[in-house]
């Protein structure tokens, strides 16, 4: 229905990255050492499962991030987990740092003279504490410019404008960390290629960029036609009640980009853009994600591949065919493939250092999905967004990853990566229910009215599919997540047509919405849920007369779910609303005149009776 996710296609949102890397939602995890909560900087060796831990303590200048790169090669060579706690200046005066480190070490080492006790000190992680390194004089206060890494590839990012809000010590990676990031691109690309089976055909360019540059790039590449589509989508979403009437969708998307973007691959320049404000340990999983896009691009050409699903039914002059409606979700499904594959590889990258894989870590995958849905603690813009937007923005990541994992379980990596790119799904139903993709399920396309004839007194505003994902979110908003999960698999098709009366641009947007379900029972349940939404969407909604088929709210004794059967009419401040259930089909007419509604009813339900 709405192509919100497509506008953010090029960017990897921080939600999945944070879920994988920082369970507490901060830039770095926190742990309790000796009763003291400390922020921890960690680095895992690249090609082995660590059996020991190198504990690093910073000096009085607290330059933990500047000194750790000096020790990282040692940790990698010896296959040790490199861990460095930060004793922040707000809670620890300089004279307290050494005392705190001794206290923490004493707590972690019950008997430091006993090698066996030392090796068993951290049973929870299965690691031995083998070394305590204390750095005396930090280098951090002696360095000059930290904004440009000493490498030939990246360009110098433009400095971000300083405001009182941004002058608080915004995190920036150090030049040495930036240089290390650039050197690790080829290594991570090789990892991705091995995981996906997608070949490396050429080197990937790399660039360091700032937050402002990223937002400027993404907003600049929101084409004029994208803005028009966004504006149409916004009004239709408001008509369905999925956005508040005074909501500014474009403004929120820009704010969300600033808050959430964690990296992006540009298929036009063939460049992976690394971010100067994301900690190095979070950058590496971002690269595993973004470099998967590079491999996809080298395999099928991402721009061309994605454009196959970009047909805008709202812009075409002739009436759409049933096949057009069926394919209207193609771009959503393809985006879920692209992001789902990248999320899967990123998860494998996160698990590899400890010798685990997605196949043997279903609990971690579930945790990551839950954190994506809820957002990180500092994701204020995301958390404040309406349900539809939160679900839309995480759909390609969360459902996409589950889809890829399920296909990988059933058909192996070849089917889940190269095979899926060659034979992509077409609908959100296939993404949400992978078994329908694997079985090759074919649902007969819904018949559609002759829109031009039936809406002869109206000007078309927008038209599109109402897919399984759309109804899942609609039901969640008005009836809760549990009922949504039970109901959406019963969806079998849907479309909407929005129009305004000719010569009256100020009139309320008229809407036709038709949906099909697995049975008459499920259709009547959905009709009741939709009727329930009217009280929340209109200031005044009153049912008129006696329903044509009994009470408007009949209780189903088996599930305790209410049903709505037959034809029902309400009056609202925006005109009449009709909800009619016949068999497995539900028709909704909002703000359309009575003659047009009757014509549509005859055509929709008459078509159902025609053999």
Average pLDDT over residues 433-443: 96
pLDDT tops 70 at residue 113: no
pLDDT tops 70 at residue 276: yes
**Kind of pairing, strands 205-209 and 271-275?**
parallel
57-69 pLDDT, tens digit each: 665 555 666 555 6
Please, which pLDDT band fits residue 297 given cuts at 50, 70 and 90? very high
Domain ranges in the chain are 4-19+171-438, 28-138, 451-609
Q: Give the DSSP letter of residue 457.
A: T
**Tokens at residue 356, please?**
């685990």
Q: Computed from CA positions of residues 301, 306, 309, 315, in that sequence, does the dihedral angle turn out positive or negative?
A: negative
> Per mean pLDDT, which range of 307-316, 354-363, 484-493 is the poorest?
307-316
* Beta strand ranges found along 135-228 (DSSP E): 205-209
Helices and strands counted in the chain (H then E): 24, 18
Phi, psi angle pair for 277, to nearest 5°: -110, 5
Q: Give the DSSP letter of residue 241.
A: T
The answer to whether residues 10 and 264 touch, using CB atoms and an 8 Å cutoff, is yes
9-58 pLDDT, tens digit each: 444 544 444 444 433 333 455 565 556 677 767 766 666 656 666 776 66
Closest CA to 227 of 250, 252, 256: 250
The answer to whether residues 27 and 34 touch, using CB atoms and an 8 Å cutoff, is no
pLDDT tops 60 at residue 133: no
The answer to whether residues 431 and 399 touch, using CB atoms and an 8 Å cutoff, is yes
Report CA Rg, the chain: 28
- Specify the 3-state DSSP secondary structure of 42: strand
- Specify the 3-state DSSP secondary structure of 193: helix
- Specify the 3-state DSSP secondary structure of 53: strand
- pLDDT the model gives residue 520: 97
Please, which pLDDT band fits residue 383 given cuts at 50, 70 and 90? confident
Query: What is d(CA 464, CA 262) in angstroms, rounded to the nearest whole number?
Result: 31
- pLDDT the model gives residue 11: 47
Average pLDDT over residues 82-93: 69
Give whole-number Cα distances, 232 to 273, 365, 497, 567, in Å.
31, 36, 12, 29
Q: Which residue has the tokens 């910073």?
A: 58
Give whole-number Cα distances, 305 to 120, 229, 329, in Å.
53, 20, 14
- Mean pLDDT, rounded, of the chain: 77
Closest CA to 423 of 431, 415, 412, 432: 415
Which of 219 and 181 is assigned the larger pLDDT? 181
Q: Which residue has the tokens 């949504």?
A: 484
Please, which pLDDT band fits residue 172 given cuts at 50, 70 and 90? confident
Task: For 544-610, give the DSSP string.
Answer: -S--TTS-S-EEETTTTEEE--EEEEEEETTEEEEEEEETTEEEEEES--HHHHHHHHHHHHHHHH-
Average pLDDT over residues 448-456: 95
What whole-number percentage of the chain has pLDDT above 70? 66
- Specify the 3-state DSSP secondary structure of 302: helix
pTM exceeds cut of 0.85: no
The answer to whether residues 176 and 280 touch, using CB atoms and an 8 Å cutoff, is no
Fold classification of 451-609 (topology level):
Protein Transport Mog1p; Chain A (3.40.1000)
Q: Which residues contact 431 (CB under 8 A, 6 or more apart)?
A: 332, 333, 336, 340, 395, 399, 400, 403, 425, 437, 469
pLDDT tops 60 at residue 229: yes
């Amino acid at each position: 229905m709405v192509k919100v996710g497509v506008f953010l296609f090029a960017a990897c949102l921080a939600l999945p990255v944070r879920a994988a890397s920082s369970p507490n939602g901060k830039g770095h995890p926190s742990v309790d050492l000796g009763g003291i909560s400390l922020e921890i900087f960690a680095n895992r060796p690249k090609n082995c499962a660590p059996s020991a831990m190198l504990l690093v303590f910073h000096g009085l200048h607290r330059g933990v991030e500047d000194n750790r790169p000096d020790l990282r090669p040692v940790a990698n060579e010896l296959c040790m987990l490199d861990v460095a706690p930060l004793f922040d200046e707000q809670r620890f005066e300089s004279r307290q740092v050494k005392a705190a480190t001794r206290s923490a070490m004493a707590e972690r080492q019950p008997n430091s003279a006993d090698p066996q006790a030392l090796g068993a000190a951290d049973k929870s992680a299965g690691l031995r504490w083998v070394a305590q390194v204390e750095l005396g004089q930090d280098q951090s206060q002696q360095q000059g410019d930290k904004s440009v890494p000493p490498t030939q590839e990246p360009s110098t990012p433009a400095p971000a404008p300083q405001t009182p809000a941004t002058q608080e010590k915004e995190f920036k990676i150090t030049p040495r960390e930036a240089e290390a990031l650039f050197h690790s691109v080829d290594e991570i690309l090789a990892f991705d290629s091995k995981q996906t089976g997608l070949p490396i055909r050429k080197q990937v360019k790399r660039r360091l960029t700032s937050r402002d540059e990223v937002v400027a790039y993404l907003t600049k590449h929101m084409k004029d036609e994208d803005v028009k589509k966004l504006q149409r989508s916004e009004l239709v979403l408001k008509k369905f009640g999925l956005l508040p009437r005074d909501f500014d969708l474009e403004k929120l998307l820009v704010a969300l980009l600033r808050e959430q973007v964690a990296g992006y691959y540009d298929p036009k320049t063939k460049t992976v853009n690394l971010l100067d404000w994301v900690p190095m340990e979070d950058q590496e999983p971002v690269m595993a994600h973004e470099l998967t896009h590079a491999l996809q691009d080298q395999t099928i050409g991402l721009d061309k591949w994605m454009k196959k699903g970009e047909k805008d039914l709202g812009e075409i002059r002739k009436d759409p065919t049933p096949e057009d409606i069926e394919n209207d979700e193609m771009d959503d499904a393809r985006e879920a493939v692209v992001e789902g594959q990248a999320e899967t590889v990123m998860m494998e990258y996160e698990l590899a250092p400890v010798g685990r894989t997605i196949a043997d870590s279903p609990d971690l995958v579930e945790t990551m999905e839950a954190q994506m849905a809820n957002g990180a603690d500092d994701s204020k813009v995301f958390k404040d967004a309406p349900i539809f937007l939160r679900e839309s923005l995480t759909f390609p990541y969360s459902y996409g990853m589950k889809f890829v994992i399920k296909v990988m379980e059933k058909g192996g990596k070849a089917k889940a990566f190269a095979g899926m790119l060659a034979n992509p799904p077409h609908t959100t139903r296939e993404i949400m229910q992978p078994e329908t993709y694997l079985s090759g399920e074919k649902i007969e396309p819904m018949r559609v009215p002759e829109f031009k004839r039936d809406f002869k007194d109206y000007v078309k505003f927008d038209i599109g599919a109402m897919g399984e994902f759309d109804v899942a979110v609609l039901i969640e908003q008005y009836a809760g997540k549990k009922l949504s999960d039970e109901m959406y698999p019963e969806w079998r098709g849907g479309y909407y047509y929005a129009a305004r009366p000719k010569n009256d641009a100020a009139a309320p947007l008229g809407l036709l919405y038709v949906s099909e379900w697995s049975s008459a029972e499920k259709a009547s349940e959905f009709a009741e849920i939709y009727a329930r939404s009217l009280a929340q969407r209109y200031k005044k909604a009153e049912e008129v007369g006696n329903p044509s088929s009994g009470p408007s709210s009949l209780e189903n004794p088996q599930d305790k779910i209410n049903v709505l059967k037959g034809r029902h009419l309400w009056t609202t401040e925006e005109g009449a609303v009709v909800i009619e259930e016949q068999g497995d089909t539900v028709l909704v007419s909002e703000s359309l005149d009575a003659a047009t509604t009757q014509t549509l009813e005859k055509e929709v339900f008459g078509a159902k009776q025609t053999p």
